[in-house]
């Protein structure tokens, strides 16, 4: 029990720059909605007529660096997000996209 609570304390005491993997995944999920990725890729990233599904992106398909490039530079029909996202935010989106299944953004994000 003491160990569990110690971990909780460590978890909540972390500075913003040292997010845990779970926190990054959650931040990515929120960004995916707040930045409008869901407009083309769908709320659960399963794709729409405007953008492909992002549910099967693993290391075997796209290396993280290529995913980050797609987000920063855009593609043929996808706009570039390099100007509107920080490196950390791009990283969080990549981490979120590569986690299976994609966790949903939690309700408190104002959705
Ligand atoms: C205006 C529609 C649109 C928006 C907004 C959009 N995308 Fe895309 N995205 C696309 C399209 C279309 C493609 C297919 C390749 C291309 O044309 O660029 C794509 C491709 C991708 C790919 C590569 C998938 C693959 O398997 O080839 C990733 C990763 C991706 N988008 C992530 C994102 C993220 C993250 C955001 C938000 C920051 C976002 N997209 C916003 C339309 C969009």
Give ligand 1 pocket residues (Cβ under 6 A).
35-37, 39-41, 50-52, 54, 57, 67, 70-71, 75-79, 81, 93, 97
Establish how many alpha carbons lie within 13 A of residue 23's alpha carbon, considering only the half-sphere containing its beta carbon.
11
Chain-centre distance of CA 21, in angstroms? 11
Name the pTM for this structure. Answer: 0.82
Domain residue extents for the chain = 20-104
d(CA 64, CA 2): 37
Residues 60-77, mean pLDDT to the nearest whole number: 84
10-14, 77-81, 85-89, 95-99: the lowest-pLDDT one: 10-14
SS3 87: helix
Ligand 1 center from residue 16 Cα (angstroms): 27
Return the sign of the alpha-carbon dihedral for residues 82, 85, 91, 97: negative
DSSP designation for 43: T
Fold of 20-104: Cytochrome Bc1 Complex; Chain D, domain 2 (1.10.760)
Cis amide linkage into residue 94, ω under 30° from 0: no
Q: Tell me which of 32, 43, 51 to substitute to probe ligand 1's pocket, judged by most ligand atoms within 8 Å of the beta carbon.
A: 51
């Amino acid at each position: 029990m003491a160990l569990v609570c110690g971990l909780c304390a460590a978890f909540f005491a972390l500075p913003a720059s040292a997010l845990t993997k779970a926190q990054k995944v959650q931040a990515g999920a929120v960004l995916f909605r707040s930045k409008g990725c869901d407009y083309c890729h769908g709320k659960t990233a399963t794709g729409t007529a405007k953008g492909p599904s992002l549910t099967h992106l693993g290391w075997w398909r796209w290396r993280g660096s290529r995913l980050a490039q797609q987000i920063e530079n855009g593609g043929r029909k996808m706009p570039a997000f390099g100007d509107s996202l920080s490196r950390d935010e791009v990283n969080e989106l990549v981490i979120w996209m590569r986690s299976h299944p994609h966790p949903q953004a939690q309700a408190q994000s104002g959705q």
